[in-house]
Structures are given as C-alpha cells and as structure tokens.
Amino acid sequence: MTNTSSLTSPAPDAPPERQRDGGVAVAFVVAVADNGVIGRNGGLPWRLSSDLKLFRRLTMGKPIIMGRKTWVSLPKRPLDGRDNIVVTRDLAFEAEGAHVAADTEHALRLGQALAGERGAGEVAVIGGAAIYEALIDAADRIYLTAVHGEPDGDTTFPVFDLTGWRIVSEEPIERGARDEFDATLRVMERVWPEDKAA
C-alpha cells in the first residue's frame, strides 16, 4: 500500500526561517511533466483528479496569485475559500470575485497582507509560466507534482538554478481510477544564507 502520510498531513505553512521572523512564506504550487510541460491550449495537458484534490488542500485558506490566462482557464471562478489575485497589465481588466494587480510585486505585497489578515502562513503562486519566472527569486517553497509522462504541450515550467534548494519530502501520490499518469509530490525548500550559517 502506498505511504501517503505526507500527503494527508498538511506541511507547516511557512519554512522555519519565515516562521521565526513571523513572516509569510511564498510557495509555488505546480504540476510538471517529465518533459517540463505544464500546460496546453490554456489548460492542463492531463487528467489527474488526485492532483486537483491535492491542489485544493495545499491552497485552501491562502491567497493565490495567478496570471490572467490562468484565471481565464479556471472552470469555476473565483476558486472558493481563497483570496484570488490576478496579475495583468490590462488596467481595464475585471475579474469578478478577485483582486487585480498590475504586476507581480503588487500581487505579492497584496497576497502577504491578506495572508497576515487571514492568519495564513503562505501565499500560493499557481501560474502560469511567466508568473513563476517573475517570482522564483521570492519563493521559499515549491510543492511540485512530478507527473510521470510526456504529454504534448505549449507551456513549460521555467528552468531555474536549483543551487540553494533542498528536497524535504518526496512521496508518490496514490493514483486514482481516472488519473492519466502516475505522479509524485516533491516538496522543496530554499536554503537561505542565514540558515546555512546557523
């Protein structure tokens, strides 16, 4: 039987260094195929109901930051139980039930403020690729669902330097009857300079 203890017990909201500071951590939540693909035609390139349930658990109660295309791709908007923040340069864009931010810096400040009000230890960044790339230097943690397949797609997760990151847990996700691929949840945390010196 698959050991899914780390999947059913929520991880602490903030990495140790942010908890010490009383700050709000920035966490990426992303599913990436073996070939780096994360999207196709504005949507997901696979059927993975187990990962959708995991996504809900990892983001519930937290502010979530996304780009306009990700917002538009959601089958139901806004995502309930979460403060939805949409990043777009279109000043006329309206996202009913969500906050709109002109850039990622504004979105991050807003997300951290909302997290503080809600008592949430994390702001969750949920895509797309340009948003991940813009915020990678601010990220403390990555919840990465490694999808064991090579689906066709037109959007890939940005390549970034893994120096200074550590894998803190890695567990297979129990495959559901409707899941198209096997998958593994890999939780990665950044090792900040002050932690190395500790």
- Residue range 25-45, pLDDT digits in tens: 999 999 999 999 999 999 999
Query: In DSSP terms, which residues pair with 174 in a beta bridge?
Result: none
pLDDT at res. 196? 52
**Among 59, 134, 26, which residue's Cα sits nearest to residue 89?**
134
CATH number of 26-197: 3.40.430.10
Q: What pLDDT band is residue 6 in, cutting at 50, 70 and 90?
A: very low
* pLDDT surpassing 80 at residue 10: no
Is the separation of the CB atoms in 38 and 132 below 8 Å?
Answer: no
Domain ranges in the chain are 26-197
pLDDT at res. 194? 63
Pairing mode, strands 183-190 and 165-173: antiparallel
pLDDT at res. 91? 85
* pLDDT surpassing 80 at residue 161: yes
* Cα–Cα distance measured from residue 112 to residue 123, given in angstroms and rounded to the nearest whole number: 6
* pLDDT surpassing 50 at residue 2: no
Residues 6+ apart with CB under 8 A from 92: none
